[in-house]
Amino acid sequence: MAIQTKVGKAFEYALTVTLYNKINNGQNVKLEKNTQFQTAKSAFEGSSKLEQAKYLGSAKKAIDYVVKLEPLLENPISGEEITITIQSDQKGGIGDIRDVVATRKKLGWEIGFSAKNNHSAVKHSRLSDKIDFGKEWFGIPCSQDYMNNVKIVFGELRQLIKGSKVQGKTLMWKDIPKKKQKIYNQILDFFEKELSQIISKNKTAPELLLKYLIGKTDFYKIMSFKNRTLIQGFNLNNNLNQVSNSVHPATKITKLKLPTKIDAFERKRGTTLEVRFDEGWQLSLRIHNASSRVEPSLKFDIQLNGVPSSLFTHSEF
């Protein structure tokens, strides 16, 4: 397991057990110990005592605050069971980026958390000649021109990999001269042009793009940094903040407005594309190789650089 993945799983476990301990106050609480839970537990137990204390400390700060925003976590309406689950990573591929979910099935209510440790990236999506990003991200297929263009570049990579294998070698990215100019920038040029065309022809594309990146379901994003814990409430469908009997949330979380258009594209340092939308949304997409070994694909590190001023944000120090 990669270090960043292990750290993320360890924080998921800390968040899960902290939530369980917080709301296990006499109500009917079920902790689902599925495969994802066991993986996260192993990652946590494989961490140092210092790291474990950090994860648990951040989780406690976040959960203590979130229960004030979500009365249904601690206050069942009619004694309904609440189940806490760590979700499979595959859920992200279908628009659900929540790592931990608490559910009251009888009520048809749930609340989820996206756990991040020392970073705030929203997604790591790949590009290759085998991936139609338009279809995958929006449900709107890319043009044949785009697919033909990227096929040429990635086809050349495949030939280089094949040639190295014949010689009994493993081709490394450091062995490719001017890879940024010849490969990264070319692919990013094709991507930018295609993204612009898709959005100009489809009014719903900006909204669909954001939902692909941040999920279709409402959730809290909990980010653990060295000296603080940051909590953001993504209230896309107005499902956050529900009342439980006479118990009201401590703070009102506004429903977010999703973008309707792109205001500007801007290239930074050659390999990063910044996309500015209306309603205050801004994305940064940095293209890079996923490993030191050459593969016929590239990866995006996608950051949410700009958010609407109405996005609920709270820091605990």
pLDDT digits (tens, 9 = 90+) for 171-205: 999 999 989 888 999 999 999 999 999 999 999 99
Instruction: Measure the CA–CA gap between 187 and 214, rounded to whole angstroms.
Output: 24
Q: Using 50, 70 and 90 to split pLDDT, how confident is the model at 213?
A: confident
The angle at the Cα of 28, spanning 22 to 31, to the nearest 5 degrees, equals 65
Same domain assignment for residues 134 and 88: no
Instruction: Measure the CA–CA gap between 60 and 118, rounded to whole angstroms.
Output: 16
Same domain assignment for residues 87 and 73: yes
Q: Are strands 100-104 and 109-117 parallel, antiparallel or unpaired?
A: antiparallel
Same domain assignment for residues 194 and 138: yes
Same domain assignment for residues 28 and 95: yes
Same domain assignment for residues 204 and 229: no
pLDDT (tens digit, 9 = 90+) per residue, 232-242?
999 999 999 99
Instruction: Determine how many CB atoms are found less than 10 A away from the CB of residue 160.
Output: 15
Same domain assignment for residues 32 and 164: no
Instruction: Measure the CA–CA gap between 236 and 217, rounded to whole angstroms.
Output: 7
pLDDT (tens digit, 9 = 90+) per residue, 63-119?
999 999 999 999 999 889 999 999 998 765 566 889 999 999 999 999 999 998 876
Inter-residue contact 298 to 184 (CB < 8 Å): yes
Which sign, positive or negative, has the C-alpha torsion 64, 65, 67, 68? positive
Instruction: Measure the CA–CA gap between 162 and 168, rounded to whole angstroms.
Output: 10
> Taking all residues of the chain, what is their mean pLDDT, rounded to a whole number?
93
Inter-residue contact 240 to 246 (CB < 8 Å): no
Residue 123 has pLDDT above 90, yes or no: no
Inter-residue contact 95 to 215 (CB < 8 Å): yes
The angle at the Cα of 88, spanning 87 to 91, to the nearest 5 degrees, equals 90
Measured CA to CA in angstroms, residue 234 lies from 43, 248, 282 at distances of: 27, 19, 15
Instruction: Measure the CA–CA gap between 311 and 235, rounded to whole angstroms.
Output: 8
Instruction: Measure the CA–CA gap between 256 and 215, rounded to whole angstroms.
Output: 13
Same domain assignment for residues 28 and 109: yes
Same domain assignment for residues 236 and 173: no
Same domain assignment for residues 83 and 98: yes
Q: Which domain holds residue 286?
A: 123-209+258-306
